[in-house]
Amino acid sequence: MKLMSKILEMLLSLFITLFTILFFIQYIINFKPIYYYDALNLNLIDDFNTYTQEYNINVEPLNSILLKKNYNYMISYINGNYSDNFNLPTIPSSNGGREHFKDVRALINRIRYVMLVSILFIVISILICKKNGLNSYLKWSGIELLLITLVSLIMAALNFSVFFDYFHKLFFNNDFWIFDPRTDSIILLLPEEFFMHCGEILIGGTLITGIAFLIIDKLKNRVQSTKYKIQ
């Protein structure tokens, strides 16, 4: 019984870690100011218009209003809004491009499902752990988050492009994510630098949360030891 309780505690820590990472992913996807900041600083509008004009791509010239209109549509679409057909307001897409955004939409939906299952498991497991006097799950989750942060930092620092490609190959079973800007000009508005910045925020969030979990665990143990001394 004691072994099973310990296994449950470790599983609980893993689910807390998983939920934390997925929560930050969802937050970053929907926090649009990150993109708007990068769009301005990376000169995405000028680069888009220069490229489309140079290659005679039949697309309406972009401005800040149209940029936000297309980006807002994309975020709403992958969050499950609109119909299954992906159609940006002013930027044409190829069949492969549309399929990729459908794949992203399905992935986001799976993430939400996993988050829901994780919450249920976490709540039930915490109650069981408390009943059995097990309270190290935050410590283990904090350690797991710090280790994941460290590994991610090393991989991204060595070669973010390789890391980015590996991510796509891991989560998508086709090559529709490889866009040709002449047929899917939206890729000009989604540069690798933007995703790198999102990754940095994700790593920063998991790092801070991991440290917070360790601090909370330490404070909780200190309070408990104080209670025992008083008794």
Q: Is the distance from CB of 59 to CB of 52 less than 8 angstroms?
A: yes
Query: In the prediction, which pLDDT does 226 show?
Result: 63
Query: In the prediction, which pLDDT does 2 show?
Result: 72
Please report how many Cα atoms fall inside a 13 Å half-sphere around the Cα of residue 71, on the Cβ side: 24
Neighbouring C-beta atoms of residue 17, cutoff 10 Å:
24
User: How is residue 8 written in tokens?
Assistant: 């449950």
Cα–Cα distance, 104 to 57 (Å, whole number)? 25
Cα–Cα distance, 51 to 197 (Å, whole number)? 23
pLDDT digits (tens, 9 = 90+) for 159-170: 999 989 999 999
Instruction: Write the single-letter amino acid at 60.
Output: E
Cα–Cα distance, 146 to 153 (Å, whole number)? 10
Residue 225's pLDDT band, with cuts at 50, 70 and 90, is low
In whole angstroms, how far apart are CA 36 and each of 40, 174, 210? 6, 29, 28
- Name the 3-class secondary structure at 28: helix
Indicate if the pLDDT at residue 150 is higher than 90.
Answer: yes
Cα–Cα distance, 34 to 36 (Å, whole number)? 6
Predicted structure pTM score: 0.92
